[in-house]
């Protein structure tokens, strides 16, 4: 199984978590994901996800001038995005417990 298949379901949460720490633009987000160990992540994956999350109301995008060239669109979490991230974190913690129990040969009541 490719890592991308596993990552697909959790990338939204990872992106929201990074953005919750600071306002960020797309390329900077791609670099943050790569530094976190997702070396194969590309803009072609991240930019559509940013658009989707903004359309769903989880992100607020603001165009700001860049000292290095064209204007950049910076993203920050909306109140709905903060709530979504909190739900993701809770669900992730529960999932880790269940998967870990299975991988270690035990069973956990769901």
Ranges of each domain in the chain: 3-103
Place of tokens 């769901």: 110
60 pLDDT above the threshold of 70: yes
Alpha-carbon distance of 106 to 70, in angstroms, equals 54
Alpha-carbon dihedral sign for residues 49, 55, 57, 61: positive
Is the pLDDT higher at 108 or at 31?
Answer: 31
Alpha-carbon distance of 110 to 96, in angstroms, equals 12
Helices (H), 1-110: 3-8, 11-21, 26-35, 43-55, 79-103
Question: Sorting pLDDT into bands at 50, 70 and 90, what band is 55?
Answer: very high
The pTM of this model reads 0.86
Minimum mean pLDDT range among 3-17, 33-47, 81-95: 3-17
Longest pairwise C-alpha distance within the chain: 55
Q: What is the structure's pLDDT at 8?
A: 73
The topology under which CATH files domain 3-103 is: Arc Repressor Mutant, subunit A (1.10.10)
pLDDT digit string, tens, across residues 61-87: 999 998 888 999 999 999 999 999 999
């Amino acid at each position: 199984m490719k890592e991308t298949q596993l990552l697909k379901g959790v990338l939204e949460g990872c992106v929201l978590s990074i953005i919750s720490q600071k306002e960020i633009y797309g390329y900077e987000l791609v670099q943050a994901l790569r530094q976190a160990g997702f070396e194969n992540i590309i803009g072609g994956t991240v930019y559509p996800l940013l658009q989707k999350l903004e359309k769903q109301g989880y992100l607020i995008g603001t165009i700001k001038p860049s000292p290095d060239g064209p204007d950049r669109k910076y993203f920050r979490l909306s109140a709905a995005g903060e709530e979504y991230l909190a739900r993701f974190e809770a669900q992730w913690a529960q999932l880790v417990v269940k998967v870990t129990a299975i991988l270690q040969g035990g069973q956990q009541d769901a």
